[in-house]
Structure 1
């Protein structure tokens, strides 16, 4: 840390908002590292409260199931994953049903035809890719 501190006139212009962007960025990076200069910046509690209110108003409210899980003590990131899981589950269920239908159709249509087993063995490894595409697409 250097011994340089923000001069009072520069700090006053910073607080009024009359500085170019590069100067503001330089002062803010210095304020992060210098507790003495940071203490010289007065805290405006009303501005801070208005800022937080504006941020909260701009954010979307979580859906009801997510809020209920959060009230039960589930961490917010876990609640978000748990409420997103049913949508993924439907896609995975559809993918599993498609794979089972393909296997059933291949077994029923194969009969004694010599080429049927070959077509099943060629298609079976590729078909899960369709399930993945359905799940994530």
Structure 2
């Protein structure tokens, strides 16, 4: 028994079959330990059109069982036959179920960044399209992480947060889903854009990983939304603000210079790799903070 109970709209959506699979699985796990919610769900299901059919099936089955028990002599027990192995879910459906951000507004926003960069480069002839993409790319997974955990992102957050798989393990699982979508999308987009001598299309990967780990580590103190806003906002101010400052309108050249400073060359990439390692170690040291994060 828990202090949390499923709201009426959640029960109604479960009964009519419109509740998404991951939310339905979480609710069913809750029903195993909460008798009041189980009774409410049962009443709600019985009130649907399927409820009448299920009642008829139940009565028919019970009647057949009683007649068979009276008419059939005892037979030797049939050896147990194992159930067939469950069919694994397609990978794309697993990604969809495990990542609330992928099911929300974040995925269209990430696609908009990618399509917008291609349109600027090939439609408007903007020479700074790739540096601009490299400047925005590390922030895209940060937004996905911010929208992946917490009551604002998951209607069953209170229930999920009380399970053994909650905390840092769940945060990392959903972060991996966000990275699995954003990394190939933005890197392949960068390959479609002219470089004009700037950093390569994959130059943002280590900075993006370091900023994501920094947000997760800082989230143990501030919460994920605040942490991602601090790290993402700091990155944009450091990279984009100087590029937008020139009065001569040479934004493309300024963007290329800024991208080269922050992303270009082995020293910069080595620094980002070291920062990612430090943030990962700090996150491991603060892993228990997520056991208490956003539980009320």
Q: Same fold (TM over 0.5)?
A: no
Larger helix share, 1 or 2: 1
- Compare CA radii of gyration and give the structure with the larger one: 1
TM-score by length of structure 1 reads 0.37
* TM-score normalised by the chain length of structure 2: 0.19
